Amino acid sequence: MIEFKEVSKKYKRKQVLDPFSLTIREGSSVGIIGPNGAGKSTFLKLAASIERPSNGEITFSGTPYKKSISRVRKAIGYVPQDIALYEELTVKEQISFWSSLEKQKTDENFLAKMIETLRLHEVFGERVERLSGGWRRKVNLCVGLLRNPSVCMLDEPTAGVDLAAKEDIIDWLKQLHQEGKTLLYISHDWYELKKLSNEFLLFADRKPIFQGSEEKLMIEKSKIIKNYQEHKELGRILQYV
């Protein structure tokens, strides 16, 4: 369980997330959605301990991140929105390289299953610089989840990928959730989130403005649209709910 208590984030003088509190339950699959610039990626970076909160505290199973950072890092796999790969390495070399950086030994069965579901063997010998956007996303995902983490945090893992690749990615994430992993997943595609998530987290105006099931969102939808009338994008997202 990950708990945020009165957490906020500033970059220099710019307030990026206003104080908020929320809990991510173990084993839940949380779909995160909201307009550009609402603070979704910043939230995920805080959750993944890539960034530290300016105020407030985040705990993992009751222990503050600060006091258990190695345990937190071990438990969490993070896939960034910006692709972070070595262009000159082949896919195979890329995977070996990132595995070799891990402190614990790579779970070969897990890795083989991930490679198979994402069909990465098809491009094993290709250098990353020569891959299309969709393949890069898949390699980025594979590298982020190499260590078989119990909590998987993914920032727009299907941005710019074609429908077939999207299906492969969603299939793999579904498998992970069925195995009992916790998923935190950012997307701009409501239908995609619906396939994967049993809980939704809606961001606007530098904070989470809704957390809960689809049923709860259906009930609160018109109130949210009314309260955030100036956010046309929110209205667009919620029209599909």
Ligand X SMILES: Nc1ncnc2c1ncn2[C@@H]1O[C@H](COP(=O)(O)OP(=O)(O)OP(=O)(O)O)[C@@H](O)[C@H]1O
Contacts with ligand X by CB under 6 A lie at: 11, 14, 16, 34, 36-42, 81, 203
Least Cβ distance, residue 90 to ligand X (angstroms): 29
Q: Which is nearer to Mg ion, 17 or 114 (CB)?
A: 17
Is residue 41 a contact residue for Mg ion (CB under 5 A)?
A: yes
Q: Are strands 151-155 and 76-79 parallel, antiparallel or unpaired?
A: parallel
Instruction: Yes or no: say if 154 and 170 are a contact pair by the CB < 8 Å rule.
Output: no
Least Cβ distance, residue 210 to ligand X (angstroms): 15
Distance of CA 95 to the CA centre of its chain: 20
Q: Which is nearer to Mg ion, 189 or 220 (CB)?
A: 189
Is residue 187 a contact residue for Mg ion (CB under 5 A)?
A: no
Out of ligand X, Mg ion, none, what residue 11 binds, judged by CB under 5 to 8 A for its kind, is ligand X
Q: Which is nearer to ligand X, 40 or 137 (CB)?
A: 40
Site for Mg ion in 110-149 (CB under 5 A): none
Is residue 182 a contact residue for Mg ion (CB under 5 A)?
A: no
Q: Which is nearer to ligand X, 125 or 133 (CB)?
A: 133
| 186, β-bridge pairs | 32, 155
Name the nearest CA neighbour of 203 among 160, 177, 238, 178.
Answer: 238
Out of ligand X, Mg ion, none, what residue 231 binds, judged by CB under 5 to 8 A for its kind, is none
Least Cβ distance, residue 123 to ligand X (angstroms): 26
Distance of CA 143 to the CA centre of its chain: 14
Q: Which is nearer to Mg ion, 41 or 158 (CB)?
A: 41
Instruction: Yes or no: say if 148 and 107 are a contact pair by the CB < 8 Å rule.
Output: yes
Least Cβ distance, residue 166 to ligand X (angstroms): 18
Out of Mg ion, ligand X, none, what residue 9 binds, judged by CB under 5 to 8 A for its kind, is none
| Sequence-distant contacts of 230-235: CB under 8 A, at least 24 apart | 231/35, 231/204, 231/205, 233/34, 233/35, 233/36, 234/34, 234/35, 234/202, 234/204
Structure tokens at 100: 């070799």
Residue 56 CA to residue 138 CA, distance in Å, equals 34
Q: Which is nearer to ligand X, 34 or 149 (CB)?
A: 34
Task: Name the residues that contact Mg ion, by CB under 5 A.
Answer: 41, 81
